[in-house]
Amino acid sequence: MPHFAGDPEGRRLTRRRATHLAEAGALARALEVLLKRAAFDVSGCTNLAQGIAHQEAIEIQRAAGRIESRKRFKSKSGQPLLEGRTVSSLCLDECGKSGKEPESQPQYFALAAVAMHEEDVEQYVKAADAIKQEFFKRVDITFHEPMMRERDGPYLFEGNTQRQAEFDQAIERLVNDTPFTAFGVGVRKKAFEDEFVTSGIDPYLPTDAYAVAIQMLLERYVDFLATSPTRRMGRVTFESQGPREDAEHQLQYALVLLDGTQWVPQSAFWNWLESGCRFMPKCGSHPTELADMFSRDIWEWCRDGCQTQPKRWQSFGSKIYCREDGLYGKFGLKVFPDSDIRDRIVQHRLACGASSN
């Protein structure tokens, strides 16, 4: 009996073919790069890669329906600042180290961000200051993980378990009541190193975990901005870690705007993000505190094989960006690579509201 793309089994078959074609395309592109370096004629290899990409697009469309055009990212004018848009503030923080570490260390890196309307940032600061005044009698303290969940430093409350529980409840209310949209990327560094860096299977993918994470996160944020009913300009703020680190993060941000990514053209980033980014050191109340909490949850989730629920997982889960089926950059949280745990990733995406169709 033949299988058709419209029935569930047919969709599974076409998805499988698309996956195989994607792998074949990566190999063809890698071969093309190597042949160019050897000054060898690559015309045959180029034609092969283009043919594979064309067939892959056909199979993906059969499996998942219409693939959205890149034109969805376009602005109304060539100069978006002339449109007078309001601002969407994207505040980022990270957990773990993006560089290579000894195998005895946890091999995970997480980058998280919260997107808030400019008018909601002040509301968050007031609410966070009120909690700090209530529990610490000062507002210059900064909420920081993993100290909060591990009861370290001021969060021990001299061993007063009732006060600890009250503080946890206050933070839970802060996360739930603050209007924001969450984005994040978890990089499984050992798998990333083995599957992509060492093999060189994808010559267009960065070899640094941070560069991969910022690309994937900004792809999702741009999709969010381009499809939101209110047109806003994205303003990106990183947690400041020092002059050198800030310069490196600014470089990665600029490269995304200049070069785009494999899946999103550079014009999309020009049209929806401010050309410069900002930096905020850990001091006082700022939405980067929320990004800090979410990045720790993502880090723990990746560490535990995406099978557990970290401390504030449910609260942040309800805030993760999710559009339609959540595929192809339409879901705000990405774990990379995920080929061996795809079923868990899909289950989480569906639990956060993605359509199963």
For the segment 38-71, what is each residue's pLDDT rounded down to a tens digit?
Answer: 889 888 888 898 888 778 767 765 665 544 555 5
Residue 339: its pLDDT value, please?
87
CA-CA distance, 108 to 46, in Å (whole number)?
35
Q: How confident is the model at residue 4 (pLDDT cuts 50, 70, 90)?
A: very low
Residue 345 has pLDDT above 90, yes or no: yes
Residue 37 has pLDDT above 90, yes or no: no
Virtual torsion, Cα 137, 138, 142, 147, nearest 10 deg = -30
Residue 87: its pLDDT value, please?
93
pLDDT tens-place string over residues 145-198: 999 999 999 999 999 999 999 999 999 999 999 999 999 999 999 999 988 888
Predicted model pTM: 0.80
CB 331 within 8 A of CB 216: no
Tokens standing for residue 207: 């070899």
Residue 357 has pLDDT above 60, yes or no: yes
pLDDT tens-place string over residues 90-148: 999 999 998 888 888 889 999 999 999 988 999 999 999 999 999 999 999 999 999 99
CB 294 within 8 A of CB 153: no
Residue 209 has pLDDT above 90, yes or no: yes
Q: Which of 134, 132, 152 is nearest to 142 (CA)?
A: 132
Strand, coil or helix: 337 = coil
Residue 7: its pLDDT value, please?
45
Question: Could you say which DSSP state residue 322 is in?
Answer: B
pLDDT tens-place string over residues 245-296: 999 999 999 999 999 998 898 999 999 999 999 999 988 999 999 999 999 9
